[in-house]
C-alpha cells in the first residue's frame, strides 16, 4: 500500500476490523514518514444483477432500496438509522442467498416484511407501490389481516 502523504511503498497495518458495509477497515502507518491513515478493503465480487418484472437486468444498487424506503417513510417516525438498518438487512440477505441474479420481487418482499414491523403507515405506502394497488379495494385487502390481528397494530 502506497502512503498517500509521501508515496512510499511500504506501510504496516496497526489495526484491522470489519466495518458495517461488508468491508475491512485497516489502520496503517507509513514506514518512511510515520503518518497514519485508514484504508477500506472490499471483496470484489461479480456484480449482482436484479431481474426486473419486465425481464430487464440492472445492477443491484442499495441506494434504490433506500430511496423507496425514504419515500414510504416520509414524515413518519422512522429514523435514518432504522432505514439504513433495513437496507443493510436486505442487502446482506440478497448477497447471502444469490450469487449472480436476484428477482426484484424477492427484494420487494424482503423490504415489505421488515417494514411491516417498523411502521404500518410506511408499510401501506410501500405496499401500494410495490403491489401496484389499482383501487381502494386493494388497500382494504392488504389491511384486513392487520386489522383482525390486535398484535400487529
Q: Per-residue pLDDT tens for 55-86?
A: 999 999 999 999 999 999 999 999 999 999 99
Q: Is the dihedral of CA 45, 59, 118, 149 positive or negative?
A: negative
Provide the domain limits for residue 20. Answer: 11-41
Residue 5 falls inside a structural domain = no
Looking at residue 152, its pLDDT comes to 53
In a domain, 1, yes or no: no
Whether 21 and 73 map to the same domain: the answer is no
Residues 86 and 35 occupy one common structural domain = no
pLDDT in tens, 7-43: 999 999 999 988 766 788 999 999 999 999 999 888 7
Instruction: Please indicate, yes or no, whether residues 67 and 31 belong to a single structural domain of this protein.
Output: no
136/79 same-domain check: yes
Q: Are residues 30 and 70 in the same domain?
A: no
C-beta of residue 24 within 8 angstroms of C-beta of residue 18? yes
pLDDT, residue 43, reads: 73
Within this chain, do residues 33 and 107 fall inside the same structural domain, yes or no? no
- The answer to whether residue 2 sits within a structural domain is no
pLDDT tier for residue 136 given thresholds of 50, 70 and 90: confident
> According to the model, what pLDDT value does residue 41 have?
87
**Which residues, in sequence order, are bridge partners of residue 39?**
26
Q: What is the tally of structural domains in the chain? A: 2
Query: Is 0.75 topped by the overall pTM?
Result: no
In a domain, 103, yes or no: yes
Considering the domain architecture, whether residues 35 and 73 belong to the same structural domain is answered as no
Residue 147 has pLDDT above 90, yes or no: no
* Alpha-carbon separation of residue 135 from 28, 123, 129, 131, 141 (angstroms): 58, 17, 12, 11, 11
Q: Is 4 a domain residue?
A: no
- Residue 144: the pLDDT is 75
Do 22 and 79 sit in the same domain of this protein?
no
119 assigned to some structural domain: yes
* 133 and 83 part of one domain: yes
What's the grid cell of residue 75? 414524515
Q: Is residue 3 part of a domain?
A: no
The answer to whether residue 87 sits within a structural domain is yes
Same domain, 76 and 144: yes
| Backbone CA torsion sign across 16, 20, 23, 28 | negative
Amino acid at each position: 500500500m502506497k502512503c498517500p502523504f509521501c508515496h512510499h511503498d511500504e506501510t504496516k497495518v496497526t489495526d484491522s476490523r470489519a466495518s458495517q458495509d461488508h468491508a475491512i477497515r485497516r489502520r496503517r502507518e507509513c514506514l518512511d514518514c510515520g503518518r497514519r491513515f485508514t484504508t477500506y478493503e472490499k471483496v470484489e465480487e461479480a456484480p449482482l444483477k436484479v431481474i426486473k418484472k419486465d425481464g430487464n437486468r440492472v445492477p443491484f444498487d442499495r441506494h434504490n432500496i433506500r430511496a423507496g424506503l425514504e419515500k414510504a417513510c416520509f414524515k413518519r417516525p422512522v429514523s435514518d438509522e432504522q432505514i439504513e438498518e433495513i437496507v443493510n438487512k436486505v442487502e446482506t440477505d440478497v448477497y447471502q442467498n444469490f450469487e449472480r441474479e436476484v428477482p426484484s420481487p424477492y427484494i420487494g418482499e424482503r423490504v415489505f416484511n421488515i417494514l411491516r414491523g417498523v411502521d404500518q403507515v410506511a408499510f401501506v405506502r410501500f405496499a401500494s407501490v410495490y403491489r401496484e394497488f389499482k383501487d381502494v379495494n386493494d388497500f382494504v385487502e392488504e389491511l384486513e389481516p392487520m386489522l383482525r390481528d390486535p398484535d400487529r397494530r
